[in-house]
Amino acid sequence: MTNTTILTVEELNILYIVKGDGRNETIDNFFDMLPDIDDEDVKKIAESALEKLQDMSDEDFAGIDFEDDFSNNLE
């Protein structure tokens, strides 16, 4: 994963919630979810995660271990 796609723990938590079968489906799930987020702080985190997700490759997305505790992915 490149430096521009390093995800925070908060971003990874949201990503885990909306994860689809692949990167594109996950991006679609983010767009479906964003209008329903009322909390501005959570919305900013979700938007940041979405931006990073859009910038990463399918290979980078496939390399995310959703069973991991994410300690290796922290900034």
30-66 tens-digit pLDDT = 999 999 999 999 999 999 999 999 999 999 999 887 7
Q: Which structural domain, as residue segments, surrounds residue 27? A: 3-73
Count of structural domains, the chain: 1
Read off the pTM: 0.79
- Can you give the CATH number for the domain in which 12 is found? 1.10.10
Mean pLDDT of the chain: 86
User: Could you identify the residue written with the tokens 């702080």?
Assistant: 41
Kindly tell me if the per-residue pLDDT of 3 is higher than 90.
no
